[in-house]
Amino acid sequence: MCLAIPMKIERIEGDRAMLSAGNVKRMAAINFLTNPKIGDYVIVHAGFAIERLDPKEAEETLEILRRI
């Protein structure tokens, strides 16, 4: 089973972005998103940002993951 997690877009470089979740930073493809922006929260799965998230929901999910 794979886990898709919310991450925040920190920097955009063409069709890839530097994303962060806590202290974790990863590059991921953003091809599936329409007009991604720095500061957007996205769901990341297998190296791809697959969906934009509501910031409040993303923060709540990240807090739950921190507690685990």
Structure confidence by residue, pLDDT tens digits, 3-46? 778 999 999 999 999 999 989 999 999 999 999 999 999 999 88
Residue 52 to residue 15: CA distance in whole angstroms: 15
Amino acid at 47: G
| Rg over CA atoms, the chain | 11
How many Cβ atoms are within 10 Å of 34's Cβ, its own excluded?
A: 6
The pTM is what?
0.88
CATH of domain 5-67: 2.30.30.140
Q: Domain ranges in the chain? A: 5-67
Could you tell me the maximum CA-CA distance found in the chain, to the nearest angstrom?
34
Compute the average pLDDT of residues 40-65. Answer: 92
